[in-house]
Amino acid sequence: MVTLTPGDGREAGPGQDEPGPAYRCADIAARDSYGRLLALLAASTSDLTSAQDMLADAFEQALRTWPSQGVPGNPSAWLLAVARNRGRDQWKSARVQRTVPLDAGQDSPAYVEDIDVDAIPDRRLELMLVCAHPAIEPAVRTPLMLNTVLGFTAEQVGRAFSVPPSTMATRLVRAKKRIKAAGIPFRIPDRVDLLARMPSVLEAVYGTYIIDWATGPQARQLPSEALHLAEVLTTLVPDDPEARGLAALIGLSAARAPARVDANGRFVPLAEHDPSLWDRRLISRAHEHLRAAHARGHLGRFQLEAAIQAMHCARGLGGTMDWPALLALHRILHAVEPSLGSSVALAAVTAEIDGPAAGLATLDALLAEAGQHSHRFQPAKATRAHLLDRLGRKEEAVVAYESAISLTHDPAERQYLEHCRDRASRQAQLGSLKDRS
């Protein structure tokens, strides 16, 4: 797994804190090419762990050499060549693998410019389908795709699934060993097998967008990857209404991304968005997918979520919100695919119709049903804090805001929650002074 930090490959002068162009290019390559390069490296051996090690070594070599030698004209080709060289070392002998460093001269850009990565078929989708193979434990299929194909760390994936990072890391290692031991082939399976594996693939593509968004404002340009994969799936399985629903859902969410932070980087709640910043083209394309999905006459989770997002977009573009219809959609969604996310959303909409007390009662009841992982789910903490705040229970709201802040990784959202907490704290103090007087 490649995890770049701002201190790696930095061309830093005295007092310079910003990463230099070599780091920035490596970071772009990690975001844009990691999964594709990994799929190419792993396809011949089905050994994901070794392929990840090769690619990690290539990125380490890039961060050592690019600052002084310059960034190659084709960074992805350079990384692929260096990773393959590392693989050849591994194949020669374990002693060479342990003791011989990469040869910077042999791996210099002059030797890799002839490699055209764009001419090599993109095998990420095949790797995703490998991760969804029946030999892989169902609960780890989607996390495995997010970790290997899409480059998210075990910590990021564990956070998305409300699972401790160490537990998630253990599951991922076990699954990678299973792929190698079973010799699962890298290929698009026949139609029957393809359809059986598709739910896990759809979930992973959706997870790509969710995790990207949760990483903060610097990731606002990344939904294009999730959009790209979702659109590819609609061409692979054009008759699958859930693939269409997923493409619509991601499109509608990504369309609103420019309005989610203001010019100063502050988080903006959906109700306060400036709709003029929304991407109308993405919204139109999403509606095309929704119409195509509806024509299939088979309802599913992603279609429901997309329909919910479409209602929010319609209100922002001048319409009025049909709250009872929205509540009905959330209830259907929770019945079809109950989750922590659907529980929190259902409670929030209930509060809009029946008041914050009803919303809070709904939230607490649904979270009690959800079990032990609900205490780690940040949206639940934030929603509970807002509902307590609306009810005037300011001291309880402050405690709930603190809990939500402790689980928040997006700097813009954290700043927003801190503002809400501070406001509630001031109001609690004023209320206490009035009571004493």
pLDDT tens string 228-281: 888 888 888 888 999 999 999 999 998 998 898 888 888 899 889 999 999 999
| pLDDT score for 11 | 44
Q: Quick one: pLDDT at residue 306?
A: 97
Mean pLDDT of 217-231: 64
Instruction: Say yes or no to pLDDT of 357 above 60.
Output: yes
% of the chain residues with pLDDT over 90: 38
> What is the mean predicted confidence (pLDDT) over 158-179?
89
Exposure b/e, 234-267, CB count within 10 A at least 16 = b = beebeebbbbbbbbbbbbbbbbbbebbbeeeeeb
Looking at per-residue confidence, does 190 or 331 come out higher? 331
List the alpha helices (DSSP H) in 183-322.
191-214, 223-236, 241-255, 280-295, 301-316
Q: Which residues contact 366 (CB under 8 A, 6 or more apart)?
A: 334, 343, 344, 346, 347
Average pLDDT (123-139) is: 85
Domain locations in the chain?
Answer: 21-119, 224-321, 342-437
Q: Confirm if 391 and 354 have CB atoms less than 8 A apart.
A: no
Quote the pLDDT of residue 393: 96
What is the per-residue pLDDT for 360? 97
pLDDT of residue 274: 93
What pLDDT is attached to residue 29? 77
Q: What pLDDT, on a 0 to 100 scale, did the predictor assign at position 221?
A: 45
Looking from the CA of 311 toward its CB, the CA atoms found within 13 Å total 16
User: How many whole angstroms from its chain centre is CA 375?
Assistant: 21
pLDDT of residue 7: 40
Residue scoring higher pLDDT (331 or 12): 331
Give the separation between CA 9 and CA 26, rounded to whole angstroms.
Answer: 9
- Residue 32: predicted pLDDT: 72
Long-range (24+ apart) CB contacts under 8 A made by 69-74 are 69/104, 69/108, 69/109, 70/109, 71/21, 71/22, 71/25, 72/109, 72/112, 72/113, 73/109, 73/113, 74/109, 74/112, 74/113, 74/115, 74/116, 74/117
Q: How confident is residue 205, by pLDDT bands cut at 50, 70 and 90?
A: confident
How many other CB atoms are found less than 10 A from the CB of residue 331?
14
Alpha carbons 398 and 16: distance in angstroms, whole number: 38
pLDDT at 4 over 90: no
Q: What per-residue confidence (pLDDT) applies to 111?
A: 44
What average pLDDT score do residues 41-70 get?
87
Q: Do 75 and 92 contact (CB within 8 A), yes or no?
A: no
Tell me the fold of 342-437: 1.25.40
Beta partners for 126?
none
Rounded CA separation 415/261 (Å): 11
And the tokens for 100?
A: 């011989």
Confidence of residue 212 (pLDDT cuts 50, 70, 90): low
- In this prediction, residue 399 carries a pLDDT of 97
What percentage of residues in the chain have a pLDDT greater than 70?
84
Average pLDDT taken over every residue of the chain: 83
Reported confidence tier of residue 19, pLDDT bands at 50, 70, 90: low
Q: Tell me how long the chain is.
A: 437
400 pLDDT band (50/70/90 cuts)?
Answer: very high
Half-sphere exposure of 68 (CA within 13 A, CB side): 6
pLDDT at 437: 62
pLDDT at residue 88 tops 50:
yes
Q: What is d(CA 97, CA 101) in angstroms, rounded to the nearest whole number?
A: 8
- 206: exposed, middle or buried (C-beta count within 10 Å: 0-12, 13-18, 19+)? buried
For residue 264, give the 3-state DSSP assignment.
coil
Report, as an integer, the average pLDDT of 23-37: 79
Would the pLDDT of 408 be above 60? yes
Band of pLDDT at residue 9, cut at 50, 70 and 90: very low
Query: Does residue 10 register a pLDDT over 50?
Result: no
Q: What's the pLDDT score for residue 93?
A: 52
